[in-house]
Structure 1
Amino acid sequence: MCYKIALNFEDGVTRFIECKEGEKVLDAAFRAKINLPMDCSDGVCGTCKCRAESGSYDLGDDYIDDALTADEAKAGLVLTCQMKPTSDCVIAVPTTSTACKTGQQKFAATVAEIASHNDAAIVLELDVEAAAPAFLPGQYVNIDVPGSGQSRSYSFSTAPGEQKIGFLIKKIPGGVMSNWLERAAVGTKLELTGPLGSFYLREVKRPLLFLAGGTGLAPFLSMLEVLAWENSQQEVHLIYGVTRDLDLVLVDEIETYAARLPNFSFATVVAEEASIHPRKGWVTQHMPAEVLHGGDVDVYLCGPPPMVDAVRKHFDDSGVKPKSFHYEKFTPNAVAKEAA
């Protein structure tokens, strides 16, 4: 038996390795030619200390307290030279991928379908030529735009392991990707780099509040699909905010999760004053107290910078501090660097 281990580096790069049953993570990484930080490899120095963000594992008792204290172990810190996974795991590595002599992965895909949604967005589906790339729900890739010498960043809207990978792309007049998609043909080959990003679904331990702005809906579709696969019983509420009525896309797809996830609910909000939508304004104006659970909630937010800043200010002003708060700002051309 092998377990899939996601190594998330500080520079946003994620690499996946296979760890055999009873094998230590440090050894599995070395087999994959990834040099995780280490010195003694005997549980003495603490150099290989990382954080396990999800999954189960055995640390044994062959390390000293100076290398990893009981409090650190309880908080999820691990020594990769001692850690033997007993399930798939996600590990945060406190250094860059280049420092570990690895880097971003590149892969090829071909255009399978291009579907336009009003003048607001385009759904792009790709067939991956080799095995579908491993990624964490919520992460993104850089897609090279043919003939432009430029790339654009888009979050996966599909779940890991699917036959096709999908993206929800905002239509931008004169945009490099938008212009190319107008004339792109099915079967065209594309080059992609990734997965990337520290915005992804963590282990679900409490109610979830998803806040999506515009095409920031994409990563939540990936997360919802994973939650449906896992038959999650946890409460999940999505608030999907847009500027205009025409910007509300894939609502029918969101509705399918109400049948597949027993404790899923959602609300759509339109900011434009002239809208005929029943809920107008900003997502912060349609965030009832019951979905915040007095702070016992994990909040995920993906949207343009003004939305992210407004939500953060709302939490500060209201005095509600979520148990965890993960967000990603994006601009029309690329995923912004700020994520938490």
Structure 2
Amino acid sequence: MSSSYNIALNFEDGVTRFIACGAQEKVLDAAFRQRINLPMDCSDGVCGTCKCRAESGDYDLGDDYIEDALTADEAGQRLVLTCQMVPRSDCVIAVPVASTACKTGTAKFSGTVAAVERYSDAAYELALDVPEDAPGFLPGQYVNIGVPGSGLHRSYSFSSATGARRMTFLIKHVPEGLMSSWLTGAQAGSKLEMTGPLGSFYLRPVTRPLLFLAGGTGLAPFLSMLETLAVQGCAQPIHMLYGVTRDQDLVMVDRLEDYARRIPGFTFGTCVADAATAHPHQGYVTDHLPPQALYEGDVDVYLCGPPPMVDAVQRHFKAAGIAPASFHYEKFTPTQAAAPVAAAA
């Protein structure tokens, strides 16, 4: 048995904070010990004020609470009382209040530029070395990165797996964009300030087939998810469709080929929207979605791309009469400075 577990607290405003919880410690006590005031009134399993939802992980609720605080039906739906919950593994807990109400907020940390790789005029991969105490994140989440000398930040999804001391980001090249301009002349060893992690777009426990739909640099969060699945293992089939506007926007396909070798059951396809492309699959992701990858709705769908893509996929599902078991999506645009995006100016 581990001496402690990592507990991810996902707040209603999209902030995620990780805490360490002892193997015999209650989550509420561990949070208070680490200066996060989760909702509570009684701390004795009587009032139900500390009720949250355990989205993943194993735990024990004991029997020191009354049914008025947590009914059997609620417990069956993985609702928990954090004043009674003792984890038996790492867990993800959805907290139904804003982080500010719990006297916490986004973590602040810095990273050192290790490398910047440019993919033609399409994108950059930014690699940052971070200290051992840098916060963890859930695969699919993003962080705000300050642009040196500007007083502004841009938001990017992690493309690396959580826990790595080198964080990576796939960043769209935007001509004369704030971050793009800085990256063009970025030097190894430069410091970047970050706040996060943030976002409700992250990989949930895998209990059914997965369909990943990536648009452009919306590929980034899926690289983080795939690395996590490659390390943890996955018994379910996974299919990805990766669509871009131009041929040169189709980057990191070699990474996907590597994941196809490392993850049994992972397959992927690509498509290019440009009518002049020589790519064998011309068109949008909705033109090339294999019906078998939808499992007649018994599938968890994750989608990250620009708003027109997200809207088109939603219309496609509706027209096809497909209602996925779960549908998680994130829209991004290169003009929003502080939105949860996988690529920004």
- How high is the TM-score relative to the length of structure 1? 0.97
Comparing 211-220 and 277-286, the one that deviates more: 277-286
State whether residues 6 and 17 of structure 1, in contact with CA within 8 Å, keep that contact through their aligned partners in structure 2. yes
**Aligned counterparts of 1:289 and 1:147: Cα–Cα separation in 2:** 49
Matched, 1:208 2:228: no
The Cα shift of 1:17 comes to: 0.4
- 3-state SS of 2:163 partner: coil
State whether residues 233 and 261 of structure 1, in contact with CA within 8 Å, keep that contact through their aligned partners in structure 2. no
The corresponding residue for 2:81 is 79
Counting aligned pairs with the same residue, the percent is: 69
State whether residues 155 and 339 of structure 2, in contact with CA within 8 Å, keep that contact through their aligned partners in structure 1. no
- Alignment equivalent of 1:165, drawn from 164, 167, 189: 167
The corresponding residue for 1:308 is 310
Q: Encode CA deviations 1:204-256: one digit per residue, 9 max, x unaligned.
A: 11110000000000000000000000121210101001001110000001100
**Aligned counterparts of 2:106 and 2:195: Cα–Cα separation in 1:** 6
**Aligned counterparts of 1:269 and 1:72: Cα–Cα separation in 2:** 44
Comparing 101-110 and 131-140, the one that deviates more: 131-140
Comparing 308-317 and 199-208, the one that deviates more: 308-317
**Aligned counterparts of 1:59 and 1:187: Cα–Cα separation in 2:** 47
**Aligned counterparts of 1:166 and 1:337: Cα–Cα separation in 2:** 16
**Aligned counterparts of 2:235 and 2:174: Cα–Cα separation in 1:** 38
- Alignment equivalent of 1:183, drawn from 165, 182, 185: 185
Runs of 4+ in 1 over 4 A off after TM superposition: none
State whether residues 127 and 164 of structure 1, in contact with CA within 8 Å, keep that contact through their aligned partners in structure 2. yes
Comparing 83-92 and 230-239, the one that deviates more: 230-239
The Cα shift of 1:165 comes to: 0.4
Matched, 1:102 2:104: yes
Comparing 217-226 and 280-289, the one that deviates more: 280-289
**Aligned counterparts of 2:72 and 2:320: Cα–Cα separation in 1:** 36
**Counterpart amino acid of 1:70?**
A
**Counterpart amino acid of 1:4?**
N
**Counterpart amino acid of 1:152?**
R
The corresponding residue for 2:250 is 248
- Alignment equivalent of 1:197, drawn from 181, 199, 203: 199
- Alignment equivalent of 2:58, drawn from 48, 51, 56: 56
Mind listing any 5+ residue stretches in structure 2 that lack a counterpart? none
- 3-state SS of 2:314 partner: helix
State whether residues 132 and 165 of structure 2, in contact with CA within 8 Å, keep that contact through their aligned partners in structure 1. no
- Alignment equivalent of 2:6, drawn from 4, 7, 17: 4
The corresponding residue for 1:148 is 150
**Aligned counterparts of 1:275 and 1:247: Cα–Cα separation in 2:** 12
Comparing 157-166 and 328-337, the one that deviates more: 328-337
- Alignment equivalent of 2:328, drawn from 320, 326, 329: 326
The corresponding residue for 1:288 is 290
The Cα shift of 1:188 comes to: 0.4
- 3-state SS of 1:292 partner: helix
Matched, 1:40 2:42: yes
**Aligned counterparts of 1:70 and 1:129: Cα–Cα separation in 2:** 43
**Aligned counterparts of 2:116 and 2:135: Cα–Cα separation in 1:** 20
**Counterpart amino acid of 1:320?**
I
Higher relative contact order (Cα pairs below 8 Å, separated by 6+ residues): 2
Superposed CA RMSD: 1.3
**Aligned counterparts of 1:214 and 1:333: Cα–Cα separation in 2:** 15
- 3-state SS of 1:259 partner: helix
**Aligned counterparts of 2:335 and 2:115: Cα–Cα separation in 1:** 21
**Aligned counterparts of 2:141 and 2:204: Cα–Cα separation in 1:** 12
**Aligned counterparts of 1:337 and 1:248: Cα–Cα separation in 2:** 22
Q: Encode CA deviations 1:254-287: one digit per residue, 9 max, x unaligned.
A: 1001110010000001111111111111111111
State whether residues 43 and 63 of structure 1, in contact with CA within 8 Å, keep that contact through their aligned partners in structure 2. yes
The Cα shift of 1:130 comes to: 4.1
**Counterpart amino acid of 2:40?**
M
**Counterpart amino acid of 1:131?**
D
**Counterpart amino acid of 1:199?**
F
The corresponding residue for 2:265 is 263
